[in-house]
Structure 1
């Protein structure tokens, strides 16, 4: 901090005696102003030599501030061009070699040119003349500056008491600006700017701007101090009142909060937790101990600690890696599903050979009721692990997966951590049900949050927003379920191993009913096993006429209904026994809900038989084409989707092109074609009906009937290629059930027949085609040909 001296008057002899050439002393941490007394410490040998020579002569040197304060040996280009002439008043040498001088600023000087650079800089300088202004505007500015500076001095503790007297005695605007700039906490470039401004009013205005900003900072600091003091007073008052409350509770025998907090500390110390979790719990306990039990923060903190203690960080169940035992459990709980069972046994085998192996994420894809959820329970039982299930259907908030941050009222961990706590072990079988029905909105995308959960490389340190600590999910066996794979987000699909669970055929449903459903429903209804019996034909009739579905839920409900009716008869009439047959089934379940699915009675022009896969399995559908007078337009009805509509248009274009030589093109030009697919209330979509549509249209053009004992499936391109389709197993089973004798399939679907039981394929002929004209030639009946019907089978 510079100190104002008043011993130099402008125009004095000292100002006139400043030499034209001066030795240059560069300084890096200050700016020297005229009329200021300043101490300097010199360690450089060349600078000490400058002082020695100056003391032997005029005792005046030029002091200039370095542009870059970190330079050790600055040159002419490293210092500002304006500085001050400094009169050396005192010098003291110290044993370590450095020199301390006290100098007095004389005047502003400016370097004109350098005359020497070694061993130290010398330069010709010129005094920068200053004028003083004493008009009313300048006086008003000086008063405002002094008043504002005094406010800073009153608020701060770093200024000496006598500085007010010194500032009050200054009558020059320029000297006031220099004095304040030397004493204010300005940056070196700002102080240098003050030194370079020659006009005293502009110089003082620049300093006033800095003082105004500094005063605002001081006011804010004072406000912060008041707020802190007020908060401390409030906390001290609360502490005093809490101590009184505790004393009152102790007298009343109600003081148990301290005991509760101490017990919580013991639980934390004894908990099986990783070090970061235990440290976080102890830190939170320290905060809790200082809170009042009646405060809202106490409840939040206590709830958080309860969650930390209830999460099974290190508690795990021991895996039972007996492959034979697991096979027996899976076979006892589920019929068929060999592919899924083999995958589970492979997992067990790898786990037995390598305990630290990370398992893949399994995704069971199949229609409702095929046993996806119950299969997850059986997997948990075969592994000896606990089972927990979370339904993801309709979830739209990312916080449902990751949890809410504790800043929110009523915050809780996400479904993952909640499920782990419910399981009570860190390695359960965790089923994420209905993953294909996730949603998203402005609250985030839950599917994105699941990416970390279902990635074995990332979930080793899954961090819930509420818990805010890493939890190892790699020990959890995740199983997801879905009805369709199309709506599962692609990044999630990439992290999972898909296992298809197709719908059951009638034969399989009958076996499942006999082994699982009938015994379970008899037990739940309290009906003795010998009091009710189901004939196999009756079970087949229930499957085909009452519960047309891919799974067995409807079948189990029908069996449960019969079991309840039997229980009532036993109570009212006696013990039976009762027998359910195909003949008396209507007395038990009422009228049939679904008509028998049959092929057409005879071949017909413009009507072909297609096949489709639905959520309930497979079905046959009829493609009906009818010509009406018109201009070649195509009308489509039957609740067809966009893809199926485009498939019909492509088939029509191919038929026109293929049979143009037989006047088919003229036939379609003079007529509109109305294409209808019955069951108009049922939405239909997909490209697999292209071949069947082409066959119906070609039948119209050639006036030849389509065989009624033949069904077709396949996508048709404009060039007549037949592309492969999905759901072949379900489609073939539906055709077999309807009595179809021959099926036309794309050649690339030939491999799919391996999944179909022999008892289904044994009575069918398959024709594999690459081109649509091959399919049409097989589909169109010869003139007068009437294929006989074959009885449908389940």
Structure 2
């Protein structure tokens, strides 16, 4: 049932059905609403404000659910405020607000469910009553008289019980609104019971904490009394022999540590302070912990380094398949270190930054470099670090102070020349606690890191002998000053051929060994191809290893249930029985030319992807509609493409007035996936030109490129990933910007040799190659844009 009634907005109050409650009305609009309700049938809607500070709320400022209430009595107070006694009847869902001098809305009265499990409801009611009785006894902020409690305990109506308990409970407005919104009666009772149980647990915890605090205060007083007695006894007996022995041991360790002179002087100064302190005092504990850190951190200990690029090449080839360009960059970097190991230039070598999608082997490359150089390997993750103290440490004036992650990593390494991997440097954050990226500048700058200052150590620490390697998924989120300190090595995604080799020689043998299935099961090449194509969609091989692990585990289970002799071969047809329904559908090109569609190529964090852009022209007023979860850059590309076509309408047979009489709708499918970037410009231009002229587009050609207003086609990024996507989708003809010609040398020959690549500089070249002649115009199509004879 729908009603149109005045609305009274409530501050910090939620009224439930079957509850009678006084409401103070002071706002002019609300008074007008009361007058209108009294003049009619005395009914109105009571709805709670989302923000109680709003003095003149609109419909958008109120929750969507409220109650239908009847006015029982109205009293005018001396200050002009109306005190209205209302009786809530039913729950209401507000549909919309209608224009009026006061808040007035159309709402749907929500009837209470008539069918429910009576036995379940009775049990829930009893549990709610018992929990509420305990809640009243434990809640110090709730004062109910005996009659109110008896009314709740004696009610037999579950709706009334929910309303009365919720009305009296000291819950937040949001919690009470949730109770009001739930339709199912059983679920409403469960929600109320859950809130009561939650608060009872909190009350119990508060009680335990209060008891513990009192006990701790008593214990502290007792300990203070005993410590004072102990001081007096030590003064009389000349005690403290254990502390003196510990100080002598620390002094010997400091002398033998090989610290720099300034650090040694600082350590001895702190040791003299410790001598004068009482052994059990908090200050002594702080000083002793500080001295332990100074002694645990390496100052002169070093591991003998092996610099042999032939040995490093062997290790890298053992641990990683492919990545030839990346390996060469690393070997070039190490060759310079090998030749300059006795000069000062070595210490100013740049920091390596391995950049690539997840799962391509960035961290394992750093581990392999450390193994090949016979260095200790330390890895710390910087993902989500937002406190500068995580890098530089906390000052010792804070309770629980510790050195930063850099010094902690050096303690873990135990030597001054480890390979230090800073993982996920692109995921650093910053807030009011400081900017960790700025703190890393001192760590990674060869001109500064010989005297790194950690706030906890308070002495310079030499990081110049550390081989720093950082990893990142993207360069866009790394601050420019930090990126300037690093030598970037990009690790692109693997081709399907490379993934197959990695799976065959690295991942699959590892899973067979881990599951005990070696010499019991084997995968054919066709099976590996299907796992890669239909069960993974990534640039790296992390998910591929998970799927192979799942396959091996399932095979192990089958072997134990029904053992077999020899080696069982798993072919492509058997994969679904092990891994279930395929998770991904490989991109496939459309065979037939299409009107208003074009094949584009996109870069994603998990590799390249075929992107079909659709366009439709319909009667309208010249609007351009863009859908498909597009980012701002992609929307701007569409605007530029449309403007170019308008400027060159005559050249491509576009109607002169198409931009005023036709709406153009551009859509990129898979709207759940965000899409952004300028490289879809020529794809959008082609789709629009096809939609307006009615000329089909060749769908066996994929294209990518940024378009300018003058029709120039600019270079794009992610070339390798995009060409891999086209190749895997079966497309053999690709249109690329001419400015990307030099990058084609980096594309694997196995891919480049099977693609017919056309380099273009202007949009007209693209349209001339992919737009086919227009078919015969049918009478029904005569009014389409671009349907003029001879086009």
- TM-score bracket, normalised by the shorter chain, equals 0.5 to 0.7
Instruction: Specify which of 677, 681, 700 is matched with residue 709 of structure 1.
Output: 700
Residue deviations 1:614-660 (CA, integer Å, cap 9, x gap): 01100011010011110110000000000000100110010111124
- Determine the structure 2 residue equivalent to 1:561: 550
Instruction: Specify which of 644, 669, 672 is matched with residue 681 of structure 1.
Output: 672
Instruction: Specify which of 234, 239, 257 is matched with residue 271 of structure 1.
Output: 257
Matches within 5 A, 1:190-589: 242=231, 244-245=233-234, 256-356=242-342, 357-358=346-347, 359-528=349-518, 530-576=519-565, 577-589=567-579
Paired with 2:246 and 2:564, the residues of 1 have a C-alpha distance of 60
Paired with 1:409 and 1:455, the residues of 2 have a C-alpha distance of 31
Instruction: Specify which of 615, 637, 649 is matched with residue 605 of structure 2.
Output: 615
Aligned-residue offset at 1:753:
1.2
- Is there any run of 5+ residues in structure 2 with no aligned partner, and where? 1-225, 777-791
Aligned-residue offset at 1:778:
1.0
Paired with 2:656 and 2:524, the residues of 1 have a C-alpha distance of 57
Residue 743 (structure 1) aligned with residue 734 (structure 2): yes
Paired with 1:423 and 1:640, the residues of 2 have a C-alpha distance of 47
- Determine the structure 2 residue equivalent to 1:768: 759
Check whether the contact 1:370–1:504 (CA below 8 A) recurs between aligned residues. yes
Paired with 1:615 and 1:302, the residues of 2 have a C-alpha distance of 49
Residue deviations 1:236-288 (CA, integer Å, cap 9, x gap): x99996362377696xxx95332222111111111121111111111111101
Check whether the contact 1:656–1:664 (CA below 8 A) recurs between aligned residues. no
Matches within 5 A, 1:620-659: 620-659=610-649
Paired with 2:748 and 2:323, the residues of 1 have a C-alpha distance of 13
- Determine the structure 2 residue equivalent to 1:122: none
- Determine the structure 1 residue equivalent to 2:182: none
| Rg comparison, structure with higher value | 1
Paired with 1:664 and 1:687, the residues of 2 have a C-alpha distance of 27
Aligned-residue offset at 1:784:
6.0
TM-score (norm 1): 0.67
Paired with 2:378 and 2:350, the residues of 1 have a C-alpha distance of 18
- Determine the structure 2 residue equivalent to 1:732: 723
Residue deviations 1:508-566 (CA, integer Å, cap 9, x gap): 000001111011111222222x1121111111111110001100000000010111112
Paired with 1:682 and 1:238, the residues of 2 have a C-alpha distance of 66
Question: Cα 1:246–1:520, aligned 2, differ >3 Å: closer, same or farther?
Answer: farther
Paired with 2:334 and 2:232, the residues of 1 have a C-alpha distance of 60
- Determine the structure 1 residue equivalent to 2:584: 594
Paired with 2:443 and 2:625, the residues of 1 have a C-alpha distance of 49
Which moves more between the two structures, 597-606 or 498-507?
A: 597-606
Aligned-residue offset at 1:343:
2.6
Residue 777 (structure 1) aligned with residue 768 (structure 2): yes
Aligned-residue offset at 1:367:
0.5
Check whether the contact 1:699–1:780 (CA below 8 A) recurs between aligned residues. yes
- 2:572 aligns to what SS in structure 1? coil
Check whether the contact 1:657–1:665 (CA below 8 A) recurs between aligned residues. no
Residue deviations 1:467-524 (CA, integer Å, cap 9, x gap): 0111111111111111111111000111111110000010000000111101111122
- Determine the structure 2 residue equivalent to 1:690: 681
Question: Cα 1:628–1:257, aligned 2, differ >3 Å: closer, same or farther?
Answer: same
- Determine the structure 1 residue equivalent to 2:657: 666
Paired with 1:239 and 1:321, the residues of 2 have a C-alpha distance of 61
Aligned-residue offset at 1:361:
0.3
Check whether the contact 2:388–2:435 (CA below 8 A) recurs between aligned residues. yes
Check whether the contact 2:609–2:725 (CA below 8 A) recurs between aligned residues. yes
Aligned-residue offset at 1:375:
0.7
Aligned-residue offset at 1:728:
0.8
Paired with 2:520 and 2:595, the residues of 1 have a C-alpha distance of 54
Paired with 2:325 and 2:234, the residues of 1 have a C-alpha distance of 68
Aligned-residue offset at 1:684:
0.1
Matches within 5 A, 1:49-60: none
Post-superposition, which runs of at least 4 consecutive aligned residues in structure 1 deviate over 4 A? 237-241, 246-250
Which moves more between the two structures, 367-376 or 761-770?
A: 761-770
Aligned-residue offset at 1:394:
0.8
Residue 721 (structure 1) aligned with residue 707 (structure 2): no
Aligned-residue offset at 1:670:
0.8
Check whether the contact 1:566–1:578 (CA below 8 A) recurs between aligned residues. no
TM-score (norm 2): 0.67
Check whether the contact 1:246–1:255 (CA below 8 A) recurs between aligned residues. no
Aligned-residue offset at 1:573:
2.2
- Determine the structure 2 residue equivalent to 1:4: none
Question: Cα 1:426–1:593, aligned 2, differ >3 Å: closer, same or farther?
Answer: same
Check whether the contact 2:619–2:661 (CA below 8 A) recurs between aligned residues. yes
Paired with 1:426 and 1:439, the residues of 2 have a C-alpha distance of 28
Paired with 2:475 and 2:446, the residues of 1 have a C-alpha distance of 21
- 1:256 aligns to what SS in structure 2? helix
Question: Cα 1:314–1:657, aligned 2, differ >3 Å: closer, same or farther?
Answer: same
The count of corresponding residues between Structure 1 and Structure 2 is 545
Residue deviations 1:74-113 (CA, integer Å, cap 9, x gap): xxxxxxxxxxxxxxxxxxxxxxxxxxxxxxxxxxxxxxxx
Paired with 2:303 and 2:564, the residues of 1 have a C-alpha distance of 46
Paired with 2:228 and 2:447, the residues of 1 have a C-alpha distance of 49
Paired with 1:635 and 1:281, the residues of 2 have a C-alpha distance of 70
Check whether the contact 2:243–2:275 (CA below 8 A) recurs between aligned residues. no
Residue deviations 1:290-335 (CA, integer Å, cap 9, x gap): 1111100001000000000000011111111222211111100011
Paired with 2:656 and 2:339, the residues of 1 have a C-alpha distance of 69
Paired with 2:505 and 2:628, the residues of 1 have a C-alpha distance of 40
- Determine the structure 2 residue equivalent to 1:115: none
- 1:306 aligns to what SS in structure 2? helix
After superposition, the CA RMSD in angstroms is 1.9
